[in-house]
Structure 1
């Protein structure tokens, strides 16, 4: 079986074998809790059962070859189990054990043996937490998680098990389709995961938390495939600092690499790079719910001058245009809102029309017709169940109807993450509005999403990077001019210059 097909079977199995002790038992409980409806088998030489499932003593005693296996055994035993599974033609497994390349030379040798033992089998890990498939209800995962079953959503891939857990605990309203912790990524690389996730039409974005990329050419090929299929990729790359890069190396044996080169690579491939987990989650939420703005300009509407000023300041810092309103629109808005309202973008429409559906809809429609990439309605909600939010619902309905009337993109953003309660997030998502949390992160997400849209428009002209393997005979020395031109074409900032003869200077 091809490794790509094997990985698809692993991520969407009909049968799972859980091998080991307490960690395997916890993985069984998580798989049961999420509603897995396939076959589950337990393998342990000394226990009668794991999490209520009777144990068999060996892989040979299983009733059939499992589509997926969760292996929670010591390193050497894990190698033997992987080799045995590979010999049966098993598609794939999760190797939970640590103690491989992240520990040094001895562990690296052990990891080399693991790769050889796996053969064509898809192995996630080692030194990983495995994965949760929230679409089909599969959890090869030995720990708690905070996700829930969804119909479609973003797939999250990270090397860190703990970051993966934290991402599932988010209170941002992001629907997660898969979360996958790859650990050392010994047998499979990021490109393998991207390709497998692209094969699932229910995945509408891919989020990557990256410590390092081993095969740049293969990663490039997979990322360009995502670009052409209009599946946005959002990345959070660790290791910007020297200390962060060293931690990445000791954590999963990842070489963080030059941060400037990663910036250039991501720009080339249309990958939106984020700096924080909140930017990462908000960007994924925006692209999965609202889609991609076709321009990076924004309009903003709020009932407070304080909110309007905050939006203006953040937009200026991020380089997001806030275009002037058309003169005819300014006149209509002035008539609508009254002489005491200063008409501008961002717009503070004051409280004069608060809870007036007709006035709000007319105001919002006028703003949405300005041709902005995305328009924001700044709205912070009370938390108490005893609060009366009827007026907030009027604003929501006015915006929804204005969006339907104009066909333009708009979001509702709370100035603070805490002032967008879960019940509000779920309601807004159900009517197709992205519930954004925090002005800074919202505007960052709009800029990032617009950059993806721009790259998608040029995807046919984006060449795949050459493989790192090259015949020695094809190597050649480059002079400074040739070298800088290549770097410039790859998106690396280099000083401007011209090529001329020495006697022409």
Structure 2
């Protein structure tokens, strides 16, 4: 059944007491013109609407219902509404799966029998486009003709977002609680198709169906609707709260990042950055991350440059054509750099400001940023600052450039100025750090939309039963070698034969204890490197005999320019995922890694490894470089192995993969898997 009746209703039944009275008033305040029914067994009126004693007294089907009664009678009310042909209902009551009563929640869903349910344990929604508020509280949303929509699992966060004074064009907010029926994916698909929705914001505690969410994001991308996410559960404490709050499983955080990166969804880490990104994306994403900054202060220019470090945005210099045009509008004391400090020589002179701003914004940047902190105290005169904002607005129109006015301090953006800028197509952004994050988000989405490679679907695999066992290093390497991974020449043997094997292989060699019981051989004293002679091998073997009666002797791999780790992990929500990062002793020290969901592609792998700090060593550093193609082939060999053993693989580590000038060799491997069927 479609969601349109529920979220864009023409008739609404409010079933309950005080909460319903508030919701009716909120709906009437928005100017709802459809039919309103109030249902209460004892009260004669709710918010001036004559009540009916029960749902059974409704003489016509309704599009939507707001049910605010106790949890047990809620189920019978839902059943009655379903029999009348109701389009959907918001379930306000709590005490279902989030409180441990999954059986009662199942009974609720069964009673709906296909009728759409939002909740339980949710506040409902305010949809100014429908002039409807199935919402039992205050809110700050005003009717707009076009704006952003926010979907959240938290009623209180939804309230807070409607209270903001940041010129956010908020068209609608939806809280979906436990998602017994209507979930994030349903809402994204429905809202993406509405041309009045400019961007979609999601506050996510957990996803019920990752594949369905991914498909919904593809739909949004097809409709060119940017999505911004505020995902909680990044910390261990956050994950625990998310689980208890709406019975959501907060999956591995790095895998959520991998999912969002693949889908072109911008993840923000603070609620203020979430709001600013949505506000900026109301005007659409960016083609790239090339910024130009204008301010009348060298301090602000330096601050902007410093705060952009480490982000996927940049302040490139003016090109040869733009630089003289900008210089011609200023005097000889102004250095023409980006960020640009245009000084105060032209302050309070609107024509001159407009000329400078127009020259700058015509320079081919993806977005132009005017830093402008305006006095907001009542005894101060902000006229000169308003004049500067008008000049920037005029210049953006002349140059046909994407532009934003940024207050470094949020309280220094007057609301009247913000509204005027927004109405003119200029994003008013509150706070420099949040503004830079918004630009970065818009650039990431725009670059994702420009890709020609297809989005790789999320694959589900059946998991074999049985106990997980650890293979020996020899067994692991042989399996991976069969998929094309290069491993050192070597042989497993009894400890007493190690010197003879080393002699045949040729020195120098490595010696490792061979036992499936010892996963971390170095810590156990089971690894000896760079053994040059028979005597070295004999002595090393003797030191390991208490660990196992078998050892692995291999040719020593030398001349590596970098060491990587390639791993595969199984996540209960996402399935198999690939991890690539700095390897060897640097794995835990640097925490330099990227994650990709499986299956993946070479294009996606290449984009990911280029985000690694250690990849600079592979590309070339101080006259040395590694074999990039060999590294990619090694990663693809691991991916191919994971695909072949998707039903049994639990964990895989190649660490390190030695990156050579002319190859890449896996010198250690760990595989844990279930029985193969």
TM-score by length of structure 2 reads 0.69
Query: Which residue in the other structure is 2:115 paired with?
Result: 121
Q: What CA distance in whole angstroms lies between the structure 2 residues aligned with 1:281 and 1:486?
A: 31
1:177 CA displacement: 1.3
Please identify which structure carries the higher strand content.
2
1:480 CA displacement: 6.4
Structure 2 residue 448 is matched with structure 1 residue 452: no
Deviates more, 1:62-71 or 1:46-55: 46-55
Structure 2 residue 198 is matched with structure 1 residue 204: yes
Q: 1:396 aligns with which of 389, 392, 396?
A: 389
Query: Structure 1 residues 469 and 384, CA, compared in 2 at 3 Å: closer, same or farther?
Result: same
Query: Which residue in the other structure is 1:99 paired with?
Result: 95
Query: Which residue in the other structure is 1:164 paired with?
Result: 158
Q: 2:404 aligns with which of 408, 411, 425?
A: 411
- Write out aligned runs for 1:195-234 (5 A): 195-234=189-228
CA contact 2:276–2:438 (8 Å) conserved in 1: yes
Q: 1:306 aligns with which of 294, 299, 310?
A: 299
Query: Structure 1 residues 379 and 34, CA, compared in 2 at 3 Å: closer, same or farther?
Result: same
Q: What CA distance in whole angstroms lies between the structure 1 residues aligned with 2:480 and 2:62?
A: 56
Query: Structure 1 residues 75 and 410, CA, compared in 2 at 3 Å: closer, same or farther?
Result: same
Q: What CA distance in whole angstroms lies between the structure 2 residues aligned with 1:501 and 1:325?
A: 45
Q: What CA distance in whole angstroms lies between the structure 1 residues aligned with 2:79 and 2:136?
A: 22
Q: 1:131 aligns with which of 111, 125, 131?
A: 125
Secondary structure, aligned partner of 1:31: helix
Query: Which residue in the other structure is 1:283 paired with?
Result: 277
1:328 CA displacement: 4.4
Deviates more, 1:379-388 or 1:61-70: 379-388
Secondary structure, aligned partner of 1:300: strand
Q: What CA distance in whole angstroms lies between the structure 1 residues aligned with 2:223 and 2:246?
A: 31
What is the CA deviation profile of residues 1-54 of structure 1, one whole-angstrom value per residue up to 9, with x for unaligned ones?
Answer: x2xx2x111111111111111111111121122221111111111211212211
Q: What CA distance in whole angstroms lies between the structure 2 residues aligned with 1:123 and 1:502?
A: 52
CA contact 1:224–1:464 (8 Å) conserved in 2: no
- Write out aligned runs for 1:238-387 (5 A): 238-289=232-283, 291-385=284-378, 387=380
CA contact 2:141–2:171 (8 Å) conserved in 1: no
Query: Structure 1 residues 486 and 389, CA, compared in 2 at 3 Å: closer, same or farther?
Result: closer
CA contact 1:228–1:459 (8 Å) conserved in 2: no
CA contact 1:161–1:181 (8 Å) conserved in 2: yes
Structure 2 residue 83 is matched with structure 1 residue 87: yes
Structure 2 residue 49 is matched with structure 1 residue 53: yes
Q: 2:40 aligns with which of 33, 37, 44?
A: 44
Greater RCO structure (CA 8 Å; 6+ sep): 1
Q: What CA distance in whole angstroms lies between the structure 1 residues aligned with 2:50 and 2:452?
A: 52
1:147 CA displacement: 1.3
1:202 CA displacement: 0.3
Q: 1:65 aligns with which of 40, 61, 69?
A: 61
Q: What CA distance in whole angstroms lies between the structure 2 residues aligned with 1:354 and 1:63?
A: 68
Deviates more, 1:263-272 or 1:420-429: 420-429
Query: Which residue in the other structure is 2:532 paired with?
Result: none
Structure 2 residue 432 is matched with structure 1 residue 433: no
CA contact 1:93–1:122 (8 Å) conserved in 2: yes
Query: Which residue in the other structure is 1:12 paired with?
Result: 8
CA contact 1:228–1:460 (8 Å) conserved in 2: no
Secondary structure, aligned partner of 1:462: coil
Query: Which residue in the other structure is 1:27 paired with?
Result: 23
Q: 1:176 aligns with which of 170, 178, 196?
A: 170
Structure 2, unpaired ranges of 5+:
470-475, 484-566, 569-575, 579-595, 613-630, 638-663, 670-677
Q: What CA distance in whole angstroms lies between the structure 2 residues aligned with 1:417 and 1:502?
A: 52
CA contact 1:154–1:175 (8 Å) conserved in 2: yes
Secondary structure, aligned partner of 1:146: coil
Give 1 or 2 for the bigger CA radius of gyration: 2
Please identify which structure carries the higher helix content.
1
1:361 CA displacement: 2.0
What is the CA deviation profile of residues 117-141 of structure 1, one whole-angstrom value per residue up to 9, with x for unaligned ones?
Answer: 1121111000000000011210000
1:222 CA displacement: 0.6
Query: Structure 1 residues 460 and 49, CA, compared in 2 at 3 Å: closer, same or farther?
Result: farther
1:387 CA displacement: 4.2
Query: Which residue in the other structure is 2:571 paired with?
Result: none
CA contact 2:56–2:80 (8 Å) conserved in 1: no
Structure 2 residue 71 is matched with structure 1 residue 78: no
Query: Structure 1 residues 459 and 45, CA, compared in 2 at 3 Å: closer, same or farther?
Result: farther
CA contact 1:228–1:456 (8 Å) conserved in 2: no
- Write out aligned runs for 1:145-156 (5 A): 145-156=139-150
Deviates more, 1:416-425 or 1:269-278: 416-425
CA contact 2:255–2:577 (8 Å) conserved in 1: no
Q: What CA distance in whole angstroms lies between the structure 2 residues aligned with 1:502 and 1:236?
A: 38
Deviates more, 1:114-123 or 1:379-388: 379-388
What is the CA deviation profile of residues 370-391 of structure 1, one whole-angstrom value per residue up to 9, with x for unaligned ones?
Answer: 2221110111112145644332
1:460 CA displacement: 6.2
1:201 CA displacement: 1.3
1:101 CA displacement: 0.5
Q: What CA distance in whole angstroms lies between the structure 2 residues aligned with 1:352 and 1:366?
A: 17
Q: What CA distance in whole angstroms lies between the structure 2 residues aligned with 1:459 and 1:95?
A: 42
1:459 CA displacement: 6.4
TM-score by length of structure 1 reads 0.92
Q: What CA distance in whole angstroms lies between the structure 2 residues aligned with 1:426 and 1:454?
A: 29
Task: Report how many residues are paired.
Answer: 493
Q: What CA distance in whole angstroms lies between the structure 1 residues aligned with 2:665 and 2:360?
A: 56
Query: Structure 1 residues 459 and 122, CA, compared in 2 at 3 Å: closer, same or farther?
Result: farther
Query: Structure 1 residues 486 and 51, CA, compared in 2 at 3 Å: closer, same or farther?
Result: closer
Secondary structure, aligned partner of 1:136: coil
Secondary structure, aligned partner of 2:201: strand
RMSD in angstroms over aligned alpha carbons? Answer: 2.5
